[in-house]
């Protein structure tokens, strides 16, 4: 019994050590601080990382993408410290890339501008890195006069993806006209955002009633819902109209291109 108790105690200690190590790693993954020459402390926190390949695809450069890091830098101490976006660096599986003021897309906060931080002040914004596509992100660090003042791990960071779409309708019946009204006021956004479309279908046939059988959205990286659902026996009388609300949920990839909405009738 004593031997089993001793083994249990050792196992428990190992589990506690592993848990503490994981906790320290998680804290390090989003923030970091260090003391600079003036005696003050500079600290940084990554708030969000946006993967934006859609803009480069729109510019016919599909093998590149922007990594847009939303970062907050703070300073505590005497004197001041100058922070410029060009002194941020991103380490990846394909090399190291220098930062620049972000080129904010729809919904982004302001670019990170050169700033002077004094005691108990902070600055926030997007630092942008142009990198190859399909890379792994490792760290973002800030270096001044050859010394690394901030070093924040991006491993395991929850990424956000920017998407920009256009809508194309495909119908199984040439006697129907389909109109889309974009309730969301744009066709771009970030992963998890919803684009809401009002869909109006006009039956141009004056002699035949048609029935809506199915509605699909392609490519299949997009989740979607529409109401009322097909199960409610939706029909359109001759020269009649049918209205639907289609909600497209943006995916966890940075997509640029057409979204095909296929409507099948009988």
- Tens of pLDDT, residues 123-162: 999 999 999 998 999 999 999 888 899 999 998 888 999 9
pLDDT beyond 90 at 31: no
C-alpha span between 259 and 197 (Å, rounded): 12
For the domain made up of 163-265, give the CATH fold.
Immunoglobulin-like (2.60.40)
Where exactly does CATH 2.60.40.1240 map onto the chain? 37-157
What pLDDT, on the 0 to 100 scale, is given for residue 3? 43
What pLDDT, on the 0 to 100 scale, is given for residue 231? 61
- Counting residues of the chain whose pLDDT is more than 90, the rounded percentage is 47
The answer to whether the beta carbons of residues 54 and 254 sit under 8 Å apart is yes
- Multiple choice CATH, 37-157, 3.40.50.1370, 2.60.40.1240, 3.10.20.520, 3.90.198.10: 2.60.40.1240
pTM of the full predicted structure? 0.79
**178-233: per-residue pLDDT in tens?**
888 877 667 889 999 999 999 998 989 888 898 888 889 999 999 999 888 766 67
Mean pLDDT for all residues in the chain: 82
């Amino acid at each position: 019994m004593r031997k089993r108790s001793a083994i249990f105690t050792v196992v428990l200690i190992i589990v506690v050590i592993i848990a503490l190590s994981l906790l320290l790693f998680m804290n390090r993954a989003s923030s970091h601080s260090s003391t600079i020459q003036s005696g003050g402390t500079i600290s940084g926190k990554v708030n969000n990382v946006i993967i934006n390949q859609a803009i480069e695809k729109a510019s016919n450069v599909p093998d590149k993408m922007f990594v847009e890091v939303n970062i907050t830098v703070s300073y505590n101490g005497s004197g001041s410290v100058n922070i410029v976006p060009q002194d941020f660096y991103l380490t990846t599986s394909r090399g190291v890339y220098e930062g620049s003021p972000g080129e904010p897309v729809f919904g982004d906060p302001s670019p990170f501008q050169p700033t002077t931080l004094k005691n108990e002040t902070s600055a926030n914004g997007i630092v942008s890195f142009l990198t190859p596509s399909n890379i792994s992100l490792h760290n973002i660090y800030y270096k001044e006069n050859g010394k690394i003042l901030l070093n924040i791990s991006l491993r395991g960071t929850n990424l956000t993806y920017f998407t920009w779409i256009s809508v194309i309708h495909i119908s199984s019946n040439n006697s129907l006209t389909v109109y889309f009204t974009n309730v969301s006021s744009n066709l771009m956004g970030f992963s998890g955002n919803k684009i809401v479309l009002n869909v109006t279908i006009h039956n141009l046939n004056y002699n035949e009633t048609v029935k809506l059988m199915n509605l699909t959205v392609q490519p299949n990286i997009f989740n979607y819902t529409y109401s009322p659902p097909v199960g409610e026996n939706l029909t359109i009388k001759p020269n009649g109209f049918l209205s639907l609300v289609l909600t497209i949920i943006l995916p966890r990839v940075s997509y640029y291109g057409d979204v095909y909405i296929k409507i099948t009738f009988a």
